[in-house]
Structure 1
Amino acid sequence: MDQRPVSEGGGTPNWHLSAPTNTKAQGLVVSGFANLPTGRALFLEFGWKGVKKKGGGAWVEALRKVAQVTDADGRDPRAVAMGFTWSGLQKMGLNANALASFDRPFKEGMFQEDRLRRLGDRRGEDWQGTVIPGGPKWSGNTPLDDAAVDDEARAFDDREEIREQRIKTPVTVHALVLLYCEHDEAAEAWCEEVSAALAPFEVTVSHHLPLDLRLDKQGIAREHFGFADGISQPIPFEEGTVVYKDGTEVPKDYWNGVPLGEILMGHMNGHNEIAQGPVVADGIGNTSGLPEHPKGVGFKDLGINGSYMVVRELKQDVYAFWQSMRAGAAYIRERDPEGSAHVTTTWLAERVVGRDTHGNLLCPLGGTIPVENNDFGFWDRDLHGHGCPLGSHVRRANPRDGLAPTPADKQTLLDAANNHRILRRGRKYGKTISVPPTPDDVDRGLLFICLNTDITRQFEFVQQTWILNPNFAFLYDETDPLIGPKGTMTIPENPLRRIIDVETFVQMAGGEYFFLPSMPALDYLGSL
């Protein structure tokens, strides 16, 4: 999970974007705004019917007068980020050809039935146990694309009974505004100011979450389960663009380096290709602030220095988590009274996560790798998972070189893993539970936010192929023990292994794919 700004192992300084890119990209790209502990997520709905032919972006300009979106050129006393769903851009009146130029996952939306299946949220007519009872509360409610409703647009003659159905949520989200400031009183007053500025334009806050990033007495940001957060982020690099604070260039980090195009459109990605983004025909609207597209004559680049923002509201059942860990530890001690004195509730919970509660990576023989050291591989340090279990959350989320079949394949597998990295920018929401946890009715969890330029290859791949893969790393019929469905988890330990039951601790309450525009693109959208 993921609160702090990027600061990687070995004391590596935070990375920045050099001019002029730092004034083009939103500040969320380079910072989690750790100096601003209080936040608000405002999910906006456009109240007008149909598509606006003119003035669909007027609300953007009104909002920016009271909540100016923050660029990436330095620290600000308060900060703002903003993204749009496909359905939101459509209602604002963005040209149909421009809408069609977005990547397919964004155009289909997170709630397209195949995507829901890949993400483990729904199968057929049924929501899975990793979704809140009754189904999610909000989404972009993206309409079905042509291939889903037009027989002539289909590649095959599908039978009527397997036609795709539109899956809708009670609340529709057209845009997301993230506010960051110093304390709750200021945040509440700011929210009221934003709501008042939007009201004349028929834009309302359909859902909101209070976001929190507060350090404990040890200076550690913790998510609701009690574990250190914001650990192990990718480090982007690009010659002349990604720099340290003193202006020196950030080199490619061997373990965690990713080309900037994995995070920002219009830059070289991990496949030595320019990360593609949307375009708009020159002259359709006020395109004067957008750069010419390098490969499209007559088109302006709407995507450059923007990104796709994946957002999922993940409700955490903290009491159930610790009860399950307590029951699992007791079960092991009862079955092996002589060889399991070290198996405590916390010991088991740390194996589920893969790190201790302070963020140090678990290693064999009881050792750890300090949280500040992120330069390591699993092959040499813990090949068989006797420290950090093979199926733990940490290892599934970023297997590094641990999936290599032979030593000769370590580099290949590390490079392959880094081609699926995502930049996390989420925060927890809801009141912190008591210690020890007791059942309550408080809604708490994580507003998961990540940035990537290829939703299919990055976020969806991680979720489907690593997090929810039942045969990950030679395991059988197991998924992520922290954020996956109810099942089992194997913990390798000499001489054999231990297997425990795990419940469902995290449930999706809403989600969608958003376009995080650059500052010039935001200007353009405001001119619609």
Structure 2
Amino acid sequence: MTQAMVTSAVPFAESDADAVDAALDRLGANLVGDGRETLFMSGVHFLSITVVRGGPRQPTYLVFEITADGDADDARQSLSDRLTPWCHEILDAAKVERPENVAAFLKRYDVRTGQGLYRQPGLDFQGTPGMTVPRILAEFELARVIRDYLDLNSRATGPLSLLADIRRHVREDDRMRPLLVAEPVPRLPAQGEAKFDAPFLLSLVGRGALEFLWPLLLPLGALVAISTYLASANAGIVVGALTFVVGLSVVAVATVAVLLLAYLTLRRLEGENTPDDRPPDPVVLGDVLARENRSQQNHLAAVSTMQGHWLRAVTLRVAFFVIREMVRRRFRPGFLGEISTIHFARWVKLPGTDKLLFFSNYGGSWESYLEDFVTRASFGLTGVWSNALGFPRASNLFGEGASDGDRFKRWARRQQRPSRFWYSAYPHVTTARIRTNAAIRQGLCNATTVDEVEAWLGLFGSRVRPDALLETDQVQTLLFGGLSKHPHAALLAVALPHAPVACREWLASVEPKVTFGEEPPPDLVTNLAISSPGLGKLGLPDAVQAHFPPAFRMGMGHPVRARVLSDTGEDKPATWLWGGPDDDLDAVLLVYAADRATLDLAVADHVAGLARYGARLVHQVMPKPLPMADGGARSAVSEPFGFVDGVSQPIVRGTRRWMRQSDAIHVVEAGEFVLGYPDGRGYFPPSPSVPASQDPDNLLPLVDPVHSRGAYQPEFTGDGARGARDFGRNGSFLVVRQLRQDVDRFHDYLGRAAERYKDHPAAPRGLSVAQARAWIGAKMIGRWPNGTSLVRYPHGPGRPRPGQARARPDNEFLYGTEDPLGERCPLGAHIRRANPRDSLAPGSDDELSIVNRHRILRIGRAYETAGDDGRPTEQGLLFMCLNADIERQFEFIQQTWFMGRQFHGLENEVDPVTGRGGKMGRLTVPSPQGPLHLTGIEDFVSTRGGGYFFMPGRQALGYLSGPLRAAGLPGSAQLGPTDRGAAA
């Protein structure tokens, strides 16, 4: 059902205005009692009556503002049926003759607004379109009944069973039973900023020309047509064609001239405008404040005086037109940009006066309401109110103005009139609660999966879950950090048997040990990731596996991926210890422990479990224990070459680290690392899905057809509940590479280079050989060994501050802004290649956004193997990272940034640390004295093994660990840690 917004303006003598105000005060007080009962469930959402005093030689009006279900006649009739005696009393005070039919009387004085030059200017806005008064009140009561039930009953039975109990409880309530039938509600799309993009601007210009320029274009076009016809008839077709072309040119020139004149006039008027900074009348303000904040809602009645110039009548209409188009075509239903607190609002230019009225029924305080507009939608208020006297100075109609917050709010208070007579059908219900209550009803009727029920339960005491809010308890713990409080770790590479039932049984035994969420157990953490062949062995159908990206399905050891990663020659996969093209590699177990004894016990348990189910251990890597400072805190971690590692990491939006340290340079959207969430462009990465027929127990979350997450999106319940299921949700792709580092070769090169280049003009003067070694190593890495940056500390490592045991690595810098030429940190240095930041476009937020699309979340550790004599035989890095798109993130960094020979315009250079240059590697070190070319850089890093894996979310892991049905499809005959209670 639609809602009608009706304004009726009844003229009366200004001398009677005080008497009318007094009558409105008396009757307004009665709305708390008899009046509310009279209007209750009448279909009237909001009703106000306001006295608007006219200017010189202008009438004073009694303005009725009505918002009600149905059409305009229904709105007026609702008022007439219930409040006729009250209306008579008010009209008596105004000395207006009592009408027999109040509805007909109000219709006679109806103010009909519209767009275009010849319509009465005005604009309506509905914050909860399609929601009737009975429905709002019924769903409010339903939410209260369910909330009371939850308060009195335990949730130990699990989400699906709890939902069944709630449905049974509601069905037994005669008042609530009808609400078990779902009703459609307006869609609540994903959050995002509405922008004036090119297609919208073009459509805006076209529609604006039709609405505002036709009075000019129509007569000119007719003149062109007549002239062309006469010229063709008298002088022939050629002359007629020339006349037509000349005529069109005249029309175009005239149109441009009119628009230019109007624009110059507008700019002159804006320059001549004098903002009125007077404070509001304390008596009027006191009257206004006395009526505010009596419930969760407020009413704003503002009366402004228009500027007298004729152009303001046009620019007001233009502003209304632009706002209307934005609301219709760019904002989500019920929202003005990001503002969602308005129930109903209306602008009205009062006929026969210079008064511009604004009525708004909104949630929250006046201060928060105005502050929302100042910070989020000042352009709209400025576009309209800049046509009024005394408004803060605007620019180009929509600019500045209301963004001058303090001056604007003072001006707005002066326009405000007391809401003497104001009725709300649901004064204690906000727009957010209306939307949430509608979602609660939808979920009660249509929820089928554990995921849906858990999201639905989150609505109680909350709101619709934002798209970007991570379901942390569904994501494996490694995403939230490198587990520095668990210094001992092991990687177990696993080969599964060619027997899906045995594979499932093994996984079911491991599943309870896998750790999820941001709060890891203090003693032991286990995470699991599965390769593409491993998913096949677990019985995931080929049709589902086909939804995984090609890089993952091919695997790191495939010749195509090896070429992308420059794993060629001595590094080709055939030479690897594990993960090569002929190896059977199905999964990796990552085990982290607080002490070595706990780790050894857990590893032994896993190895025994593999043997029990016919699986085997392919390879094992034991990283070096992390150094721990006093008190168990993490100490600095250095990689084998001697440089502090793990300094620069992206900050995932929605994690606790983001809440503590939300630096804009490093904040990256969750969807860049976890499937099921928006990425840096606002889209959702492709996620593998499962047909509903292969998830009969509803273990997996639904695939949303428009990639919008959260609680119930009502347009997609009902039939949508039988659609595909999202297997990838809360999962991530894990890249593992065992990289051997030739420490002796690296330091030998630094020694030779120090002897050769310590006296080079580009090097600092007076360097000793040891200092030159450190300086050259820092130039190759991009940081000093202690982790401090070359950008901030170009002449030597940063020193500890007073009270610090060691210098803290710094990371809040921008290469392009602070070191555009690479004279501090060379353009080809390792960490600059790994994350160029704004190097290509100094200071550009867009460039940072583009670069952040290629970030990876590194979670690796150094490893070391020892011979019989205890001396190290091999050192290196167990490199691991998480990303949502292996090709766009990990492989892009490796191929385009590390191995890109023309990276940043360089000539035939690769990464000086991880590159594959043989003995022909080089690094250009720019300086004001001319560049230094470090040549003869050897290969210091080689690949020993690795693979691509999928780290599933909690629900996907529970789905995979269920037993196989006779048809060869996943089932859920046994319970896992995810609730698998019976659906209602």
Calculate the TM-score normalised by the size of structure 1: 0.81
Letter in 2 for 1:359: G
In 2 relative to 1, CA 411–202 (structure 1 residues): closer, same or farther, beyond 3 Å? same
SS in 2 for 1:172: coil
Quick one: distance in 2 between partners of 1:442 and 1:53?
Answer: 39
Counterpart in the other structure of 1:479: 910
Tell me whether 1:355 sits opposite 2:809 in the alignment.
no
Counterpart in the other structure of 1:502: 937
SS in 2 for 1:415: helix
Counterpart in the other structure of 2:529: 83
Letter in 1 for 2:839: G
Counterpart in the other structure of 1:456: 887
Deviation per residue, 1:321-365 (Å, 9 max, x gap) = 111111111111376799753252122111111011111111375
Over 6 Å off, 4+ runs: 17-20, 334-339
Quick one: distance in 2 between partners of 1:331 and 1:249?
Answer: 48
Counterpart in the other structure of 1:40: 490
SS in 1 for 2:895: helix
- Could you tell me whether the CA contact under 8 Å between 2:865 and 2:872 is conserved in 1? no
Letter in 1 for 2:910: T
Tell me whether 1:72 sits opposite 2:488 in the alignment.
no
Tell me whether 1:333 sits opposite 2:773 in the alignment.
no
In 2 relative to 1, CA 100–330 (structure 1 residues): closer, same or farther, beyond 3 Å? same
Letter in 2 for 1:309: L
Tell me whether 1:493 sits opposite 2:927 in the alignment.
yes
Letter in 1 for 2:608: A
Tell me whether 1:382 sits opposite 2:807 in the alignment.
no
Tell me whether 1:525 sits opposite 2:960 in the alignment.
yes
In 2 relative to 1, CA 476–334 (structure 1 residues): closer, same or farther, beyond 3 Å? same
- Could you tell me whether the CA contact under 8 Å between 1:210 and 1:429 is conserved in 2? yes
Counterpart in the other structure of 1:58: 505
Counterpart in the other structure of 1:163: none
Within a 5 Å distance, the mapping from 1:130-145 to structure 2 comes to 130=571, 135-139=575-579
Letter in 1 for 2:758: R
**2:622 aligned to which of 200, 205, 210:** 210
Tell me whether 1:442 sits opposite 2:873 in the alignment.
yes
Deviation per residue, 1:412-460 (Å, 9 max, x gap) = 2222111111111111111599xxxxx9661221111111111111111
Quick one: distance in 2 between partners of 1:365 and 1:56?
Answer: 55
In 2 relative to 1, CA 509–36 (structure 1 residues): closer, same or farther, beyond 3 Å? same
SS in 1 for 2:533: helix
Counterpart in the other structure of 2:701: 291
Letter in 2 for 1:56: C
Greater RCO, 1 or 2 (C-alpha within 8 Å, sep 6+): 1
Tell me whether 1:97 sits opposite 2:534 in the alignment.
no
In 2 relative to 1, CA 243–89 (structure 1 residues): closer, same or farther, beyond 3 Å? closer
Superposition deviation, residue 283 in structure 1 = 3.3
Deviation per residue, 1:359-405 (Å, 9 max, x gap) = 1111375166775542221122111112111111010000000122x
Counterpart in the other structure of 2:845: 411
Letter in 2 for 1:427: R
Counterpart in the other structure of 1:259: 669
- Could you tell me whether the CA contact under 8 Å between 2:762 and 2:926 is conserved in 1? no
Superposition deviation, residue 243 in structure 1 = 4.7
In 2 relative to 1, CA 269–18 (structure 1 residues): closer, same or farther, beyond 3 Å? closer
Tell me whether 1:244 sits opposite 2:244 in the alignment.
no
**1:192 aligned to which of 604, 607, 631:** 604
- Could you tell me whether the CA contact under 8 Å between 2:511 and 2:957 is conserved in 1? no
Tell me whether 1:182 sits opposite 2:594 in the alignment.
yes
- Could you tell me whether the CA contact under 8 Å between 1:84 and 1:174 is conserved in 2? yes
Counterpart in the other structure of 2:795: 366
In 2 relative to 1, CA 336–111 (structure 1 residues): closer, same or farther, beyond 3 Å? same
**Once structures 1 and 2 are overlaid, which stretch shifts more, 188-197 or 249-258?**
249-258
Quick one: distance in 1 between partners of 2:828 and 2:866?
Answer: 27
Quick one: distance in 1 between partners of 2:516 and 2:556?
Answer: 27
Identity among equivalent pairs (%): 31
Quick one: distance in 1 between partners of 2:560 and 2:610?
Answer: 35
Counterpart in the other structure of 2:858: 424
Letter in 1 for 2:880: I
Counterpart in the other structure of 1:399: 836
SS in 1 for 2:874: coil
Quick one: distance in 2 between partners of 1:196 and 1:228?
Answer: 37
- Could you tell me whether the CA contact under 8 Å between 1:44 and 1:174 is conserved in 2? yes
Superposition deviation, residue 287 in structure 1 = 4.9
- Could you tell me whether the CA contact under 8 Å between 2:761 and 2:930 is conserved in 1? no
Greater fraction of residues in strand: 1
SS in 2 for 1:344: helix
Aligned length: 459
Quick one: distance in 1 between partners of 2:840 and 2:861?
Answer: 30
In 2 relative to 1, CA 18–261 (structure 1 residues): closer, same or farther, beyond 3 Å? closer
**Once structures 1 and 2 are overlaid, which stretch shifts more, 324-333 or 261-270?**
324-333
- Could you tell me whether the CA contact under 8 Å between 2:786 and 2:797 is conserved in 1? no
Superposition deviation, residue 56 in structure 1 = 3.0
Tell me whether 1:470 sits opposite 2:898 in the alignment.
no
Deviation per residue, 1:64-117 (Å, 9 max, x gap) = 45xx11101413121011000001111121111111111121112122322211
Deviation per residue, 1:227-254 (Å, 9 max, x gap) = 11111111122xxxx1538xx9579642
Superposition deviation, residue 461 in structure 1 = 0.9
Structure 2 regions of 5+ residues with no counterpart? 1-466, 706-719, 799-806, 964-984
- Could you tell me whether the CA contact under 8 Å between 2:548 and 2:687 is conserved in 1? yes
Deviation per residue, 1:272-308 (Å, 9 max, x gap) = 2112211112232565321111128631111001011
SS in 1 for 2:812: coil
Superposition deviation, residue 198 in structure 1 = 2.1
Within a 5 Å distance, the mapping from 1:260-275 to structure 2 comes to 260-275=670-685
Q: Which has the larger radius of gyration?
A: 2
Quick one: distance in 1 between partners of 2:748 and 2:939?
Answer: 12
Counterpart in the other structure of 1:307: 732
Quick one: distance in 1 between partners of 2:816 and 2:847?
Answer: 10
- Could you tell me whether the CA contact under 8 Å between 1:60 and 1:526 is conserved in 2? yes
In 2 relative to 1, CA 337–429 (structure 1 residues): closer, same or farther, beyond 3 Å? closer
Greater fraction of residues in helix: 2
In 2 relative to 1, CA 22–393 (structure 1 residues): closer, same or farther, beyond 3 Å? same
In 2 relative to 1, CA 337–94 (structure 1 residues): closer, same or farther, beyond 3 Å? closer
**Once structures 1 and 2 are overlaid, which stretch shifts more, 197-206 or 334-343?**
334-343
SS in 1 for 2:931: strand
Letter in 2 for 1:293: V
Quick one: distance in 1 between partners of 2:866 and 2:795?
Answer: 30
SS in 2 for 1:138: coil
Quick one: distance in 2 between partners of 1:357 and 1:191?
Answer: 34
**2:557 aligned to which of 89, 111, 118:** 111
Quick one: distance in 1 between partners of 2:592 and 2:915?
Answer: 30
